[in-house]
Chains A and B, each alone.
Chain A
């Protein structure tokens, strides 16, 4: 729709361009400004309507009680007070943080080790096979892959327990015990997501000049020492990006717990986003849902800001 409107609106200007060439700067500047306005309009209007206004809307809504049917009534801080005393909400935030810490740590560790391994000497075709394999789960839908995983992790007939049985491990109640359920959700999430950090690391490693490694080898650094002392500091900007993105994504986890466990058993795998979904769209408590959303937003901003602050000490730019 927009792409047809823009040429039409601009084309009438076109014949006027040659005469304007005499007064070059101002006419051209005006043309460029008009063009910029038209080019930016779809993006800026969209962002204002569907992001900026909703952020403000979330804050405002969080101060009201509203179930869509009756008219909203002012609640002040009541929703927040409720959120801070509701055990389900509190547990969901704790779960979200636990999930974030383990999922991000595991994801970065696996991705880093695999990226270093893939970066070693091997035939080119083999390297691209590995790269594609680790990247592949990223293109699949989290919801449908969680459906698959639900069968694989089934306690009685799942393939995972069958494999463990081969080495003499008793069946694990992956999805049905409070302790194991969160670990399973984390595993499934990491399985699908580590390829993202992996790609970032492979790119980051390729950007490290070869000479630096050669110099380190000449100085006698080998294997692990070389990686820890030389590669890691040089990779630290990439590590920062990977961990910032990893954390922001992890704090928004929804599909995996929703499909695998629906938040259970009990509240063991209920996450903040699941609470937003349930209180708004199942219980029609829009005010409370917005308060949880605002808190999640504050949490994400705080964690990200903290990370950038900490990173000043550890990130080395070349």
Chain B
């Protein structure tokens, strides 16, 4: 018995890693499978798109489907709208979250605790619960069916503010105190000492904002009614509607086009994205 146990556990240790890695590889393939299929189908001719078994490498790769997307919808306009909305929100959130996060971390003022509580509480409020009044507020401002309707309400970010507060709290207090002894006022201390150190934290806020708002569907669906104000996800779903039973390849080519910036952010901003998600686990 006492001899059998160690040998048994040893075989388990030498076998298990391989079995585990193979199992993980299968899971990874299942996870990426739909994306690979999308890319490969978008490169097939419409006639080949329905072929089963699906050929991962198209026999006769063609960009015909991509041409189809450009014929069906104004991809450039949608991409421009998406870029404009997403970039402005990302920059806006970096500014508002950076400023508010710093105030909560390093400045003294009245009602600090209740105000911070208010910010945290709004993280719990789902967008869908407030969407009807938000729609009415924007309507009364005459902003519905404009890109501003998507941009302005997205500037304040409770999660970003929280994240930046943590970030500033993690910086040594002595830096600011030394600057104060040198005669710096509160603004100089922020501008010259702490703000430059905050860049990595701001990058997290920006990347999270970009990823979330690039893919956003619910708000554009409600707030944008005319096609020229659509963003990419909205245009794609309408593309699918336009085509009905038409070409899969064209729809999937559109999906691939809309994925490109998201994938680019994934490649470049993978670490900030991961850190943002891991650091508190709330972002959508």
Contact = CB atoms under 8 A, between A and B. Distances in A.
B218 interface: yes
Contacts of A100: none
Given A134-B31, A139-B263, A162-B53, A255 B217 contact: yes
B185 A43 contact: no
Contacts of A118: 24
B142 to A, nearest CB: 15
B218 A35 contact: no
A199 interface: yes
Contact of B129 (A46, A241, A293): A293
Contacts of B237: 143-144, 147, 259
Give the dominant DSSP class at A's interface.
helix
Interface stretch (A82-90, A101-109, A151-159, A172-180): A151-159
Nearest to B255: A144
A208 interface: no
B170 interface: no
Contacts of B128: 252, 254, 273, 276-277, 293, 296
Nearest to B273: A139
B113 interface: no
A47 B158 contact: yes
Contact of B20 (A39, A54, A120, A276): A120
B251 A147 contact: yes
A11 to B, nearest CB: 8
Interface in A126-171: 126, 129-130, 132-145, 147-152, 157, 159, 162
8 contacts: A2-B96, A14-B185, A35-B187, A134-B31, A148-B34, A280-B135, A297-B125, A297-B126
Interface of B: 9, 12, 16-17, 20-21, 23-24, 27-28, 31-32, 34-35, 37-38, 50, 52-54, 95-97, 99-100, 102-104, 107-110, 115, 118-119, 122, 124-137, 152-153, 155-158, 161, 180, 183, 185-188, 190-191, 211, 214-218, 221-222, 232-234, 236-237, 240, 248, 251-252, 254-255, 258-259, 262-263, 265-266, 270, 273-274, 277-278, 280-282, 284
Interface of A: 2-3, 6-7, 10-11, 13-14, 17-18, 21, 28-29, 31-33, 35-40, 42-47, 49-55, 57-58, 61, 114, 117-118, 120-122, 126, 129-130, 132-145, 147-152, 157, 159, 162, 191, 195-196, 199-200, 202-203, 222-223, 241-242, 245, 248-249, 251-252, 254-255, 259, 273, 276-277, 280-281, 286, 289-290, 293-294, 296-297, 300-301, 304
